[in-house]
């Protein structure tokens, strides 16, 4: 997508603090981190959101999921991390390019869902 900020980062039109890149995937630090470790893992292929994933994307998503723990450990998340995929407006997605948030670096992250 021409105006997608993550596509522009993947095309190197916008700088990012990259931590990993191959022909299919890019990982870079979040510009507004929620924890000591907070990076985004994106496919270079533009997919709007998880709701738009199709069978042809299985190997790409599998590659992303298997890469996530490796990168998290390299970034210092030895005791675990949180993986978040916000999907659609109701799911809190702000950038409509599929991306995984990998968050960690603390002893224990706060809970995510509050009841009340």
Catalytic residues: 99
- The span from the CA of 50 to the CA of 47, in Å, is 8
CA atoms within 13 A on the CB side of 7: 10
Name the 3-class secondary structure at 18.
strand
């Amino acid at each position: 997508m021409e105006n997608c900020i993550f596509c522009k980062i993947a095309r190197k039109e916008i700088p990012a603090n990259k931590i990993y890149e191959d022909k299919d995937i890019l990982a870079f630090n979040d510009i507004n981190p929620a924890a000591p470790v907070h990076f985004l893992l994106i496919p270079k292929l533009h997919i709007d959101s998880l709701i738009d994933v199709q069978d042809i994307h299985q190997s790409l998503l599998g590659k992303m999921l298997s890469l996530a723990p490796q990168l998290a450990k390299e970034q210092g998340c030895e005791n675990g991390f949180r993986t978040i995929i916000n999907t659609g407006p109701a799911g809190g997605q702000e950038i409509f390019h599929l991306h995984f948030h990998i968050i960690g670096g603390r002893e224990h992250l706060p809970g995510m869902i509050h009841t009340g």
